[in-house]
């Protein structure tokens, strides 16, 4: 997505009719981008280090966990050696780093015995689809409802939007999920009670309730933020100028109002995404969806170091990429942020 934007930028530069002040903008943008990239990588590295050491603080010997309490001493010892658990932590760390850099893998899962990377790749698509679906629902509903509230200030919609967050804030994610299951799956039978369907429609259908559950928690604060921004912008002088020039309202909204309003909300949404990683864990448990969340939970309870690291790495990368992308969009839309 961002490459396309950059490409079009270059073409615009060569199109000499009214180019914007591109060269100065691009330069400062590039400088910012490099700094942001660097910072993101630093964060990923820090997260990895933190995860590496923290998981080792959890009491319990993984080899024992895999082979069982009454396993043969020698077998346990052999497994420990195989998993490099006998080496001092520092050495383990070096092996770990080398592994990542060469095969982009954190090792063999202690419990499942296969490459962690393959496990992650196997379970990630479900979780990603879930997140995608919930983001879609979130964005669409947020924009529509916030816009409705801002345009008809003090109307019914507006009041509802101001009151409802007070209710939803206190609702645990899993409880909302259970409610949805109760009404839409058990009583109405529209959606399956849990699990992931196979094949096109069944797959997405089974993800609807979980996605709505996730969206449910995200939407109220986002609407509040967007609505506030919209109101601020709608009252601004330049909107009056545009209206005075008789530009059609729809165009004013899409081209000017929206662009001036969406950035803080976008930022909020990207911060939410980090909590979303945990959110999928719970939602996956509630709806019995076998995705990354469940994988993570099992990995931790099994003291499966490599797997935990793999999942943590995936999460950190995911979050960092999302932050970076949203930052890029925000900085492109609002060049003032570059200063």
Partner 1 sequence: MKKLLKKLRHSTLYIGLIMLLLLVIAAIAAPYICSYDPISQDLYATLKAPGTSEHILGTDQLGRDMLSRLLYAARTDLAVMVLAEIVPFISGIFIGMLSGYFGGRTEWIISLVTDTFIAFPYYLLVIVVAFMTGAGIHGIFITFMIVGWLVYARVAKPLTASMKNSEWVQAAKLMGYSDFRIIVREIFPNVLPQAVVVLMTDMAALLVAIVTLGYLGIGITAPTPDWGSMISEGQTLIGTAPYLSLLPGLMVVYTGISLSLIGDGLADRWR
Partner 2 sequence: MAAVSGGTMTDSVLAIKNLKIFSNENDAVIVDGIDIDIKNGESLGIVGESGSGKTLTLRSLIGLIPEGVHISFDDKTDNDKIAMIFQNPVKALDPLYPVVKQLREVYLAHHGALDAHAGRKSIGDRFMRLLAGEGAKNAVGRKKSGKEAECDKWIKSIMQRLSLPEGLLEEDRYPRSLSGGQCQRIGIAMALACEPEVLLCDEPTTALDVTVQKQTVELIKELQSEYGFAIVFVTHNLAVASEMCDRIMVLKNGRIVEEGKTSELLKDPKDSYTKMLVDSVLTVPERN
Instruction: Give me the residues that bind partner 1 (CB under 8 A), please.
Output: 39, 42-44, 46-47, 50-51, 54-55, 57-60, 159, 165-167, 169-175, 178-179, 181-182, 186, 271, 274-275, 277-279, 281-282, 285-286, 296-297, 300-301, 308, 311-312, 315-316, 319-320, 323
The verdict on 237 binding partner 2 (CB under 8 A) reads: yes
Closest separation in Å from C-beta 173 to partner 1? 7
Cα 298–Cα 311–Cα 285 angle in degrees, nearest 5:
40
In the complex, minimum distance from the CB of residue 251 to partner 2, in angstroms, rounded to a whole number: 7
* Enclosing H/E stretch for 232: helix 200-234
| Minimum CB–partner distance for residue 222 and partner 2 (Å) | 17
CB 204 within 8 A of CB 133: yes
Largest CA distance in the chain: 85
Dist. CA 322–CA 138, nearest whole Å: 16
* Residue 290 Cβ vs partner 1, minimum distance, rounded to whole Å: 16
Interaction partner, residue 15 (partner 2, partner 1, none; CB < 5-8 Å by kind): partner 2
- The answer to whether 106 touches 310, Cβ cutoff 8 Å, is yes
Provide, rounded to whole angstroms, the least separation between the CB of residue 329 and partner 2. Answer: 6
Task: Give me the residues paired with residue 108 across strands.
Answer: 115
What is the smallest separation between the CB atom of 44 and partner 1, expressed in angstroms?
Answer: 8
Nearest distance from C-beta of residue 57 to partner 1, angstroms: 6
Q: Which of residues 23-62 bind partner 2 (CB under 8 A)?
A: 25
Site for partner 2 contains 118 (CB under 8 A): no
146: burial class by Cβ within 10 Å (0-12, 13-18, 19+)? Answer: buried
Closest to partner 1 by CB, 48 vs 242, is: 48
Among 59, 101, 102, 246, binds partner 2 (CB under 8 A): 246
Least CB distance to partner 1 at residue 301 (A) = 7
CA–CA distance, 169 with 157 (Å, rounded to integer): 18
3-state SS string for 145-157: HHHHHHHCCCCHH
Span 146-185, contacts to partner 2 by CB under 8 A:
153
Q: Is 12 in the site for partner 2 (CB under 8 A)?
A: yes
Binding residue (CB under 8 A) for partner 2 from 175, 183, 238, 275: 238
15/73 with CB nearer partner 2? 15
Binding segment toward partner 2, per CB under 8 A, in 32-40, 82-90, 237-245, 311-319 = 237-245
Cα–Cα distance measured from residue 293 to residue 51, given in angstroms and rounded to the nearest whole number? 16
Query: How many CB atoms are closer than 10 A to CB 17?
Result: 5
Residue 259 site contact among partner 1, partner 2, none (CB < 5 to 8 Å, cut-off depends on kind): partner 2
Asked whether position 248 contacts partner 2 by CB under 8 A, the answer is: yes
- Centroid of chain to Cα 87: 35
Long-range pairs of 105-109 with CB within 8 A, sequence gap ≥ 24: 105/310, 106/306, 106/307, 106/309, 106/310, 106/313, 107/83, 107/305, 107/306, 107/309, 107/310, 108/83, 108/306, 109/299, 109/304, 109/306, 109/307, 109/310
- 330 closest CA partner among 243, 271, 247: 271
Site of interaction with partner 2 (CB under 8 A): 1, 4-5, 8-9, 11-12, 15-21, 25, 153, 234-238, 240-248, 251, 254-256, 259-260, 329, 332-336
């Amino acid at each position: 997505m961002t490459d396309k934007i950059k490409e079009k930028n270059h073409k615009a530069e060569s199109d000499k009719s009214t180019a914007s002040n591109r060269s100065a903008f691009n330069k400062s943008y590039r400088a910012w981008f490099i700094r942001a990239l660097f910072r993101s990588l630093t964060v990923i590295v820090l997260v990895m280090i933190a995860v590496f050491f923290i998981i080792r603080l959890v009491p319990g010997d993984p080899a024992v966990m895999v082979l069982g309490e009454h396993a043969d001493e020698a077998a346990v010892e052999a497994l420990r050696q195989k998993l490099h658990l006998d080496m001092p932590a520092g050495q383990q760390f070096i092996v770990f780093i080398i592994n990542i850099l060469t095969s982009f893998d954190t090792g063999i899962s202690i419990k499942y015995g296969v490459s962690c990377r393959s496990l992650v790749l196997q379970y990630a698509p479900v979780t990603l689809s879930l997140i995608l679906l919930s983001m879609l629902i979130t964005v669409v509903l947020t924009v529509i409802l916030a816009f409705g509230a801002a345009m008809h200030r003090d109307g019914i919609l507006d009041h509802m939007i101001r009151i409802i967050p007070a209710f939803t804030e206190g609702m645990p994610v899993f409880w909302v999920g259970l409610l949805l299951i109760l009404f839409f799956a058990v009583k109405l039978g529209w959606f399956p009670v849990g699990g992931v369907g196979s094949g096109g429609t069944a797959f997405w259908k089974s993800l609807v309730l979980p996605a709505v559950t996730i969206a449910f928690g995200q939407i109220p604060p986002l609407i509040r933020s967007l609505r506030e921004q919209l109101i601020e912008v709608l009252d601004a002088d330049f909107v009056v100028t545009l209206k005075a020039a008789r530009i059609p309202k729809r165009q004013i909204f899409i081209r000017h109002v929206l662009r001036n309003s969406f950035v803080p909300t976008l930022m909020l949404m990207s911060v939410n995404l980090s909590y979303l990683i945990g959110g999928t864990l719970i939602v996956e448990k509630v709806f019995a969806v076998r995705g990354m969340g469940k994988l993570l939970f099992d990995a931790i309870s099994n003291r499966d170091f490599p797997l935990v690291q793999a999942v943590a790495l995936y999460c950190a990368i995911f979050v960092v990429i999302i932050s970076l992308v949203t930052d890029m969009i925000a900085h492109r839309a609002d060049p003032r942020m570059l200063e």
